[in-house]
Amino acid sequence: MKRGAIQLAQTLFLLTISAVALAAPGSEASQWLERMASAMSNMSYQGTFVYMKGETMETMRITHVVDDNVVRERLYSVDGPHREILRDDTGVRCVLGEDKAIVEDLFTAGPIYPQIPFVELDRPGSPYAFETGGRGRMAGYPARRVAILPQDEYRYGYELWLEENSGLLLKWVLYDAQRNALAKLMFTSLSLGSDINRAELVSDTPSEEFVRLDSPMPQRLLVRSAPRWEPKHLPAGFRLTAHNLVEKNGDSVFEHLVYSDGLASVSVYIEDESAESRPGDHGSSQLGTANAFSRHIGQKHVTVIGEVPSLTVRTIGDAVAPSFAAD
C-alpha cells in the first residue's frame, strides 16, 4: 500500500484503538474503556481533528454513521495532499492524491484494524498499567482522562480523554516508556447523533474519475494453515492473532502475520524477492509514529511494521525464520 494510504490508515487506527476491553472487569479504567469501545463502534459522529507529530500538523475530518448495525465511514485530509478512506459493508477504498488513484480492498468490510477482545492485560506481569483521574474540556465537551502506561521499552503508552457522557474518544496522546509525548490527536469540533451531515459520506471525487491501481500481487487465494515463516521468539506479551497466506501455483508468495500484546499490534510480511528489491533495501525506517524493519532471508523479503518502538520491530524481524511446524 502506498505511503499516503498507510498514513491515513494509521490515523483511522488511532480512532478505532478504543474497540478493546483493556482492564480488569469492574475497575474504573475498565468501565471507561468499555464505554469508549461502545461509543466508537455504535455511535454516529462527525468532526474535525488535528494530528500532531514533532513540527508537523495535519487536519482531518471524519464522518462515522451507524444504521442498523451497518457502518459507513469517510475520513479525509483537510489540508495537504488529498487523501481519503471510504469504508462500508462492501470493503475499504483509499483515494490518494490529485491523480485520484484508488486502492481497493473488498475483502476488508470491517474496521481497518481488527477489533479483538483483549482480556488479559490485567494479569500478573502485564506489559501495561492503568490510571484514571483528571477532567478537562475538549471540542466543547466535558472530558475524563484514562492513561495506559507501558511497563517496558517494547511498547508505547497512551493518554485518552473521553467525552464524559458517552465515552467517545476526544483526544489521544502517544507516549514512549519515558513519558515523552510522541504524537497527539485531538478533535477541534464534533457533532454527535442526529446532528451530523450525512452528505459528507460521499467522496468529492465521482467514482467514475477514480484511477484504480493494479496490484502487483496475484489474485488473492488465502490459505488457512500454520505459518510457514514466523519469529522464533517475541517480546514478552506478544502472541499471534492473525495469519494469511497467499499462494500462486501451490507456492507461497505472500504471508502476513499479526502479533499483539493486547493493545499494540505488529504486522510481519514475508514475500518473494522481486526484481524491484535492492540489496540495500533493509534496515529500520519510520512512517509517522509507526516503525518498520526490513531484511532479506535467502529469496524472501521480510518487513515488520507497527505502532511500537523501533526496538520491537527489529527484535521481531531479526527472529523471523522458516517454521518447522509448516513442513
Say yes or no: domain 229-326 is CATH 3.30.200.100. yes
Contacts with 73 (C-beta within 8 Å, 6 or more apart), sequence order: 62, 63, 64, 65, 85, 86, 87, 88, 201
Tens of pLDDT, residue by residue over 77-124, are: 999 888 888 888 887 777 766 655 555 554 444 443 334 344 556 566
Average pLDDT value for residue range 188-204 = 90
User: Which of the pair, 222 or 244, is modelled with greater confidence?
Assistant: 244
- pLDDT for the residue 19: 44
Contact yes or no for 41/57 (Cβ under 8 A): no
Asked if pLDDT for residue 6 goes beyond 70, the answer is no
Q: How far is CA 233 from CA 28, 82, 163, 236, 251, in A?
A: 34, 40, 40, 9, 25
Rounded distance, CA 279 to CA 295, Å?
A: 9
Asked if pLDDT for residue 145 goes beyond 90, the answer is yes
Tens of pLDDT, residue by residue over 66-84, are: 988 899 999 999 998 888 8
User: Which of the pair, 54 or 213, is modelled with greater confidence?
Assistant: 54
Tell me the three state secondary structure of residue 222: strand
Asked if pLDDT for residue 190 goes beyond 70, the answer is yes
- pLDDT for the residue 181: 92
- pLDDT for the residue 245: 84
Average pLDDT value for residue range 157-180 = 91
Asked if pLDDT for residue 299 goes beyond 50, the answer is yes
* DSSP secondary structure, 225-238, as one string: S--SEEESS--TT-
Q: Where do the H-state alpha helices sit in 114-231?
A: none
Average pLDDT value for residue range 187-202 = 92
Q: Would 3-212 and 229-326 be classified into the same CATH topology?
A: no
Average pLDDT value for residue range 52-74 = 90
Rounded distance, CA 22 to CA 303, Å?
A: 28
User: Which of the pair, 111 or 11, is modelled with greater confidence?
Assistant: 11
Q: Where does the pLDDT of residue 216 fall: very low under 50, low under 70, confident under 90, or very high at 90 and above?
A: very low
- pLDDT for the residue 224: 55
Q: Where does the pLDDT of residue 277 fall: very low under 50, low under 70, confident under 90, or very high at 90 and above?
A: low
> Which range has the top average pLDDT, 6-15, 16-25, 246-255?
246-255
Tell me, rounded to whole angstroms, the distance of Cα 217 from its chain centroid: 22
- pLDDT for the residue 206: 65
- pLDDT for the residue 118: 44
Asked if pLDDT for residue 194 goes beyond 90, the answer is no
Asked if pLDDT for residue 199 goes beyond 70, the answer is yes
Asked if pLDDT for residue 4 goes beyond 70, the answer is no
Domain positions in the chain: 3-212, 229-326
Say yes or no: domain 3-212 is CATH 3.40.50.970. no
| Average pLDDT over the chain, rounded to an integer | 79
**φ, ψ (nearest 5 deg) of residue 195:** -80, -5
